[in-house]
Amino acid sequence: MTADGTPFFLAPVGIDEGNTIADKLRMITLGAEHIRRLGVEPAVGILSGGRMGDIGRDRRVDRTLADGEFVAGRAQELGINAKHYTILIEDAIKESNFIVAPDGISGNLIFRTIAFLGGGDGLGAPVMMDDYVFVDTSRVGGHFTKAIMLASALSYLNKERKKVIH
């Protein structure tokens, strides 16, 4: 959550995640499915390393901009409400409830800035498997109550989903 209490989902946050287009699309697809299970229609804000006017200044920034455009377009083709906000996270949070960072390092830095410096809060990173729910938390946070509550709610939703499938 932001400091003013705006809730949102953020991915990737693992430093070794989200480095390819395929990784981002998989996270968006699975994340959108997960968010819908919570009764929320996902609005995905995809971030990159600069503004479109920055093209040509740095090859890495150019790559993130191209990836952001491609990923947003592909997500839309998959029926997911997605938009590329370039580096403008302050605009993305106004319209999106699922922020996708350019890579896991950036996502981790966004999380840490919000939760540890900016007065926001993190509930944990849910991992939903067929039989188990796992909520990853920061080693620095020191409190796990919200993560346990999240895991409990997700476990219940996971069991209800299985009843419908079977």
pLDDT digits (tens, 9 = 90+) for 111-158: 889 988 999 887 766 665 556 666 666 655 556 766 677 667 767 766
The residues, any chain, with a CB within 8 Å of residue 150's CB and separated by 6 or more, are: 123, 124, 126, 135
pLDDT reported for residue 142? 57
Q: How far is CA 10 from the centre of its chain?
A: 3
Summarize the confidence of residues 87-105 as an average pLDDT. 97
- Percent pLDDT > 70 in the chain is 78
How long a stretch of residues is the chain?
166
**Pair of tokens at residue 8:** 């949102």
Considering only 32-36, 77-81, 97-101, 157-161, which range has the smallest mean pLDDT? 157-161
**Pair of tokens at residue 117:** 């410096």
d(CA 48, CA 32): 19
Q: What pTM was computed for the model?
A: 0.83
93, 98, 79: which is closest to 24 by C-alpha?
98
Residue type, 77: E
Strands 133-136 and 125-128, sheet pairing: antiparallel
User: CA gyration radius for the chain?
Assistant: 16
